Structure 1
Amino acid sequence: FDELLENSNGVSIFSGTINGFFGRLYKKGKFSEIKKFYKNLKSKFEDRFYLEIQRHNDDNEIGFEKFNLACSLELEIPIIATNEVFYMNKDMHEAHDALICIGNKTYVNDKNRLKFSDQHYFKENLEMLELFADIPEALENNYNFPKRCSFRPLFSKPILPNISSEKGGDASEILRKESLDGLIFKFKKFFNLEESQLENNEKFLQYKDRLDHELDIIIEMKYSSYFLIVSDYIKWAKNSDIPVGPGRGSGAGSLVAWCLSITDVDPIKFNLIFERFLNPDRISMPDFDIDFCEDKRDLVFEYLTKKYKDSVAHIITFGKLKARMVIRDVGRVLGLPYGFVDSISKMIPFDPSRPQSLTQCIAGEPRLQKLINEDTRVKKLTDLSLKLEGLNRNVATHAAGVVIADRKLTEVVPLYKDAAANLLLPSTQFDMYSAENAGLIKFDFLGLKTLTVINNTQKLAQKKDKNFNIENISYEDPKVFELLSSGNTVGLFQVESAGMRDALTHMKPNHIEDIIALVALYRPGPMSNIPTYNDCKHGRQTPDYLHPLLEDILKPTYGVIIYQEQVMQIAQKLSGFTAGQADLLRRAMGKKKRAELEKQKQGFIAGAVKNGIGKDVAAGIFLKIEPFAEYGFNKSHAAAYAIISYQTAYLKTYYPKEFIAASMTMDLSNQNKLSEFYEELKRLDIEVIRPDINECFADFRTDNEKFYYALGGIKAVGYEAISNIVKERLTNGKFKSINDFLNRVSPKDINKLQLEGLVKAGAFDSINSNRQALFNSI
């Protein structure tokens, strides 16, 4: 309230409804307190404070009106006639009433629930004139009030923290310096070149040209701060032993991102295009999706909260009342029997990939139509559901989205804190699209458990070889490709499904480009091109390069157009498109917008003719690349994920026990997955120490030749409880008998069900081999 009084300039205040702040005080009989507040507001807002007069026939409204009219005369505060609008038409009242019950988890026939009259619809002028005919000054103030307003919300420019004030110097200068420093560091690390050798090095100059080109676009589009913010929290995470993915999405196509350690993918090595990520011809915010280790992602949020105090929040999402859900919810508040409502909702098809509206569901289901015609309860249920379908039902938090602003977020958007959810950050009350319109920039923090597996495997591997680092592995190791070609890929990222194994055995990959291609091809649509790729790779078929000029572009994929980047390169090579224009062509092909596609086609053919290619030949090439472009995959994303796939394959090749131990620990509660890994251990001839209370640990471990099964992986045994039991064993020695075990273990850590689980798994066999007797004695 004090903040409201301090910031009164340019603001008008209405006193509110019977259910508002002053209305609630009125119901409690706090009349003198209300008058004090009114005097306070009048002194600050002068003639910009109005007492609202409303006539909805709600409880206590008439008494509150009389009180406000008396205060208006006594304190000389203007009155204004208003109508609280919850819905457009009067016939929506019953549906709104049901919605209130859904929100408050009550029933329509509950007498003690929150209830509104049927007057909360959008009234026309004549209705308002008639309703408030006895107090014309209230109507006059209503009529004049809009003339006092001169504000309209505008789309805001992107709001980002000011990096320049933090580091000294302009954000663009800082970006140029840090990018060049990063490039020099990469050349030292990956190309073994010292700084003194770089000036005349052809490769370095090629990279430097690309870097300058990208920086010019980023700076011109005013996104320097964005890159620096992302780079800052990624570097912090890497320095804090928080695994970060090599990249995700089109951001991996940026050399600046590679130099700033945002990604670990060299875009020039993999022939990736920056304009696929940031196109000067198509103004849109850059969007880095960053994968973090699932277990430590919250630490990154903590860092951001400290660095950008009060300026960081999650993004809210709203659950909608969809066809099935609205039937269930409305049926419940109407008091209809659960089984009856359930049988109706099951008539509505549930297919998230092809959602249908309730109207479509009714039109396609004769049984439901029959019930609507014959049963008045069903008629009422569907009528109300049709009016409520699509409205917001509940609030949740965007799985990965976070916004960061240059000032307190409360100055930009309203915030929401869910008391029930254990979240470090508040949420914006605006959804993703409205938050962007308000100028807030979304940063994505995704959790990827494979990064945790890689990190944990590396720690286990370092017990054998303390110098081992996953960042320094070779991506041309024949043994790794041998493993991939065998199809024994249980636990490997992106390539462990039965279909992928089959594809790998036929493809016989022998370089990283094959893995990138497979990640991109193994999807509905382009999947049909896998045999062509394989046949051309193994010399059973001659690749079709469409035109001699395109051989360089299509040679790495044996004539098959797999990537969106290839479509862009074809447009650049044949038709002289800029990278930005080529990206617009790619989008037009992917979106299948006929008018835009026709316009792009004409430009493509005209450009090709200028380059000496026949009109018919150019049109033919366009027709051939069009279907590929529709299914084309983003190579930047495929390359980043292929790197993770290769890393997991490398670890399984050289550190199989460590890799499987880390993988199984990540899937402790997934019995099906544990069984799959157990079969893999048997195939690899790895000796597994069966669950033993005196030998094994809470998680899966490996020690020289032995592989210890996790006690935490036994059904009904909790990980935390068993961790405490293992801690007791390590501190005070092995358990000598079942009585010794029970005397030493805290009752909080073991109950009857857990003890039975351990006995049935044979964890006590080394103490007492008679499981049945032990089980019966519990």
Structure 2
Amino acid sequence: QLVPLYRDPRSDLPVTQFDMKFVEKAGLVKFDFLGLKTLSVLKKAVELLSERNIDVDLDGLSWEDEKVFELLQRGDTVGVFQLESEGMRRTLAAVKPTNFGDIIALVSLYRPGPMDNIPLFGDRKNGRAEIAYPHPLLQDILKETYGIFVYQEQVMQAAQIIAGYSLGEADLLRRAMGKKIQAEMDTQRKRFVTGAAENDLNSEQANELFDLIDKFAGYGFNKSHAAAYALLAYQTAWLKAHYPHEFYAASMCFDMHQSDKLSIFVDDMKRLSVDVLQPDVNKSRPNFSVEEQPGALLAVRYALAGLKNVGEKAMQAVVTERAEKGPFSSIEDFANRIDPHGLNKRQLESLASAGGFDALEPNRAAIYDGADMVLSVANSAADARESGQGGLFGEGSAGGEMQAIRLPENSHWSLNEIMVHERDAFGFYFSAHPVSQFQAVTASLGALTHAALCSEGPIGEGVRKPGVMAALVEKVRWRDSRRGKRFALADLSDSSGQFSASCFEEDQCKILGELADQGRCALLNVELDQKSDDESPRVAIRRVQALDGLEKTTRTRMELEVLDIAGLHELTKLVAPLVGGQSELVAIMAGPDDESVRVCLGRSFRLDAETVEMLERVKGLAAVRLGPARAMRVAKPKLRLVS
């Protein structure tokens, strides 16, 4: 009756042949319906909380929750709707929102154009600048935004108050200012000046106000739209502040196949001391979940389907089998019970690489190399079940006996190989970072993580603070400064997360590029500076050295607390093959009158991450500490230590 229609054969809904502008002229109203992933995240988080018998009504939250605004003021908003970008996090830390209206304003201002007003908005809000209004009549409508035009509604209200516009006329003014059509603007200017005269504004004052309103109207945001977005931002921030485990688990469920997003969440969890557990075929679900730990603690359990190359359907089958018949008791039990038609070698390798079988067989390399054997047994057991050879009463797989699996005996991964395989399975480094291989060297040289170096306190204006870091060089890009000088921008990472740094030294830039191409770790001598206390320090690289070249030349020291004689005997056996380096090994034992005695076992040992890991597992040893070798008074053993 109003517009010509087109019948889309793929849909039951009629489609207009007119576009959105013409349908309005024909008398129809246009609505935009936004499908937001965040709505699903919120729903999932509420469902996860209900599993712990916690009922949450997100629509009934208080708008003055202190924890929420503390979180926002820290810029701690990774995963928070509309507020998670690095720039927005810096903005939150600078502006320090204290009420829901501030969130609406920041959602509106953080866009090209209006974001130029953010510093002034923050200064006026926090008392660093005086709040000024373009005209006394505008104070009531601009009070919530500290005298700054932010919303389209404020433009329309200003036209009503200053020039007597009706709501309909004010909307036409807003549109005209947005389109910048000169003829329409000239008409509106005349109308505005005429109406303003009734409020005792002369022509000059009216034109100044018109120009000011025009300046803001071009990028003014619709407040009702911003408020709806701010509502979701507040609700997600509330969940993160009060129930971080459910917040992370729900968020990650909807970024299941985006390893870069999952990596950001895992880094954020580690930074905030929220435990995240590796996948486990006996405990994980296909999706991310929250798991209760001893002592009423909580942890996020990594999803089986969150791994690369496994598939949600196959993982659901594994979890269903476990739910119906109980946990898997061994790798043989797993192979004899699973459906091999839904599981292939690549999936088994990915599960093994991620530690999914650690509870059944801690040697990941053996499972990985024996994947064909596991599948062979699974196929044989499935054939036996299908042919009815499961025993008279259907027990077991073949005649009631479980088929054994002989895994490769010589398969073993170094710490570096474990990390590489984890990266292949997760899409990022999960339990450890490549830099951790060099912890003996980095501890000796006093290297700190990026987070630790940045958290040592604010840096004074104009001050360049020196520091030492160890990081994996992931990517190097060349840029030109404003003065035309070429420099390198490096993407780096360490155990505290990812960060960027610049380097202006040409010879050091070349070394950075080579290390990035080879995927190697570097020791970085850096300088940090900071424009203001509210922003993160910037990192400038002054010197670059490959970490794997420093192991042989750096003197380090390891201290081990020996708890009993058995521990001492085990220690002497383990350290014998480690001779051939420049590191010092010191045993600390209880002496007479409970005084500790330090015994230097030698100063020519090779100490690396695998050595540390090996010694940490020895019963009778505790407090494995790494540090720089230095002169110290230790007792020289009078007797030769033998096992």
Letter in 2 for 1:415: R
Structure 1 equivalent of residue 9 of structure 2: 417
Contact persistence 2:244–2:274 (CA under 8 A)? no
Contact persistence 2:20–2:30 (CA under 8 A)? no
| Distance across 2 between alignment mates of 1:458 and 1:595 | 53
Structure 1 equivalent of residue 314 of structure 2: 721
Note the C-alpha offset of 1:426: 6.4
Contact persistence 1:413–1:438 (CA under 8 A)? no
| Distance across 1 between alignment mates of 2:144 and 2:44 | 34
- Describe the shift of the 1:414–1:582 C-alpha distance in structure 2 as closer, same or farther (beyond 3 A): closer
Structure 2 equivalent of residue 773 of structure 1: 366
| Distance across 2 between alignment mates of 1:517 and 1:671 | 32
Any residues of structure 2 matched to 1:276-355 within 5 Å, and which? Answer: none
Note the C-alpha offset of 1:619: 1.3
Note the C-alpha offset of 1:544: 2.1
Any residues of structure 2 matched to 1:515-526 within 5 Å, and which? Answer: 515-526=103-114
Contact persistence 1:484–1:508 (CA under 8 A)? yes
Note the C-alpha offset of 1:440: 7.7
Any residues of structure 2 matched to 1:650-669 within 5 Å, and which? Answer: 650-669=238-257
Q: Tell me the alpha carbon deviations over residues 188-212 of structure 1, each in whole angstroms, 9 at most, x when there is no partner.
A: xxxxxxxxxxxxxxxxxxxxxxxxx
Structure 2 equivalent of residue 676 of structure 1: 264
- The equivalent position to 2:82 in structure 1, one of 490, 494, 504, is 494
Structure 2 equivalent of residue 157 of structure 1: 2
Q: TM-score, normalised by structure 2?
A: 0.54
- The equivalent position to 1:757 in structure 2, one of 322, 330, 350, is 350
Structure 1 equivalent of residue 280 of structure 2: 692
Contact persistence 1:567–1:586 (CA under 8 A)? yes
| Distance across 1 between alignment mates of 2:330 and 2:229 | 50
Any residues of structure 2 matched to 1:85-164 within 5 Å, and which? Answer: 156-157=1-2
Contact persistence 2:163–2:192 (CA under 8 A)? yes
| Distance across 1 between alignment mates of 2:135 and 2:282 | 69
- Describe the shift of the 1:758–1:519 C-alpha distance in structure 2 as closer, same or farther (beyond 3 A): same
- The equivalent position to 1:599 in structure 2, one of 184, 187, 191, is 187
| Distance across 2 between alignment mates of 1:647 and 1:731 | 37
Structure 1 equivalent of residue 165 of structure 2: 577
| Distance across 1 between alignment mates of 2:73 and 2:21 | 48
Structure 1 equivalent of residue 137 of structure 2: 549
Structure 2 equivalent of residue 616 of structure 1: 204
| Residue 38 (structure 2) pairs with residue 450 (structure 1) | yes
Q: Tell me the alpha carbon deviations over residues 453-476 of structure 1, each in whole angstroms, 9 at most, x when there is no partner.
A: 001111222334544211111111
Note the C-alpha offset of 1:433: 5.6
Q: Tell me the alpha carbon deviations over residues 59-83 of structure 1, each in whole angstroms, 9 at most, x when there is no partner.
A: xxxxxxxxxxxxxxxxxxxxxxxxx
Gaps of 5+ in 2: 293-297, 372-643
Structure 1 equivalent of residue 323 of structure 2: 730
Note the C-alpha offset of 1:414: 4.7
| Distance across 2 between alignment mates of 1:445 and 1:625 | 30
Q: Tell me the alpha carbon deviations over residues 647-704 of structure 1, each in whole angstroms, 9 at most, x when there is no partner.
A: 1001111111001100001110000111111111112212222111111111111133
Structure 2 equivalent of residue 385 of structure 1: none
| Residue 229 (structure 2) pairs with residue 637 (structure 1) | no
Structure 1 equivalent of residue 57 of structure 2: 469
SS of corresponding position for 2:171:
helix
| Distance across 2 between alignment mates of 1:523 and 1:467 | 36
| Distance across 2 between alignment mates of 1:494 and 1:510 | 17
Question: Which stretch has the larger CA shift, 618-627 or 584-593?
Answer: 618-627
SS of corresponding position for 1:613:
coil
Note the C-alpha offset of 1:610: 1.1
| Distance across 2 between alignment mates of 1:439 and 1:584 | 17
Structure 1 equivalent of residue 625 of structure 2: none
Gaps of 5+ in 1: 1-155, 159-411, 419-423
| Distance across 2 between alignment mates of 1:483 and 1:717 | 36
| Distance across 1 between alignment mates of 2:200 and 2:31 | 46
Structure 1 equivalent of residue 411 of structure 2: none
| Distance across 1 between alignment mates of 2:26 and 2:345 | 56
Letter in 2 for 1:638: A
SS of corresponding position for 2:218:
helix
Any residues of structure 2 matched to 1:375-414 within 5 Å, and which? Answer: 413-414=5-6
| Distance across 2 between alignment mates of 1:609 and 1:415 | 54
| Residue 124 (structure 2) pairs with residue 536 (structure 1) | yes
- Describe the shift of the 1:769–1:431 C-alpha distance in structure 2 as closer, same or farther (beyond 3 A): farther
- Describe the shift of the 1:529–1:723 C-alpha distance in structure 2 as closer, same or farther (beyond 3 A): same
Note the C-alpha offset of 1:435: 9.7
| Distance across 1 between alignment mates of 2:145 and 2:26 | 44
| Distance across 1 between alignment mates of 2:230 and 2:222 | 12
| Distance across 2 between alignment mates of 1:772 and 1:766 | 14
Structure 2 equivalent of residue 745 of structure 1: 338
Letter in 2 for 1:726: V
- Describe the shift of the 1:578–1:435 C-alpha distance in structure 2 as closer, same or farther (beyond 3 A): closer
Structure 1 equivalent of residue 177 of structure 2: 589
- Describe the shift of the 1:716–1:685 C-alpha distance in structure 2 as closer, same or farther (beyond 3 A): same
| Distance across 2 between alignment mates of 1:600 and 1:413 | 36
Note the C-alpha offset of 1:734: 1.1
SS of corresponding position for 2:360:
coil
Contact persistence 1:725–1:749 (CA under 8 A)? no
SS of corresponding position for 1:707:
strand
Note the C-alpha offset of 1:485: 0.8
Q: How many residues align?
A: 365
Q: Tell me the alpha carbon deviations over residues 116-166 of structure 1, each in whole angstroms, 9 at most, x when there is no partner.
A: xxxxxxxxxxxxxxxxxxxxxxxxxxxxxxxxxxxxxxxx437xxxxxxxx
RMSD across aligned C-alpha pairs, in angstroms?
Answer: 2.1
SS of corresponding position for 2:34:
strand
Structure 2 equivalent of residue 254 of structure 1: none
Q: TM-score, normalised by structure 1?
A: 0.45
Any residues of structure 2 matched to 1:216-231 within 5 Å, and which? Answer: none
- The equivalent position to 1:480 in structure 2, one of 54, 64, 68, is 68
| Distance across 2 between alignment mates of 1:560 and 1:731 | 62
Note the C-alpha offset of 1:443: 5.8
- Describe the shift of the 1:687–1:535 C-alpha distance in structure 2 as closer, same or farther (beyond 3 A): same
Note the C-alpha offset of 1:646: 0.5
- Describe the shift of the 1:688–1:433 C-alpha distance in structure 2 as closer, same or farther (beyond 3 A): closer
Contact persistence 1:495–1:501 (CA under 8 A)? yes
More strand by share: 2
Letter in 2 for 1:577: Y
- Describe the shift of the 1:650–1:743 C-alpha distance in structure 2 as closer, same or farther (beyond 3 A): same
Structure 1 equivalent of residue 448 of structure 2: none
Note the C-alpha offset of 1:554: 1.1
Q: Tell me the alpha carbon deviations over residues 308-339 of structure 1, each in whole angstroms, 9 at most, x when there is no partner.
A: xxxxxxxxxxxxxxxxxxxxxxxxxxxxxxxx
- Describe the shift of the 1:609–1:426 C-alpha distance in structure 2 as closer, same or farther (beyond 3 A): closer
| Distance across 1 between alignment mates of 2:344 and 2:26 | 53
Note the C-alpha offset of 1:429: 8.5
SS of corresponding position for 1:703:
strand
Letter in 2 for 1:417: P
Note the C-alpha offset of 1:434: 11
Contact persistence 1:485–1:508 (CA under 8 A)? yes
- Describe the shift of the 1:716–1:444 C-alpha distance in structure 2 as closer, same or farther (beyond 3 A): same
Structure 2 equivalent of residue 710 of structure 1: 303
Percent of paired sites with the same residue: 48
More helix by share: 1
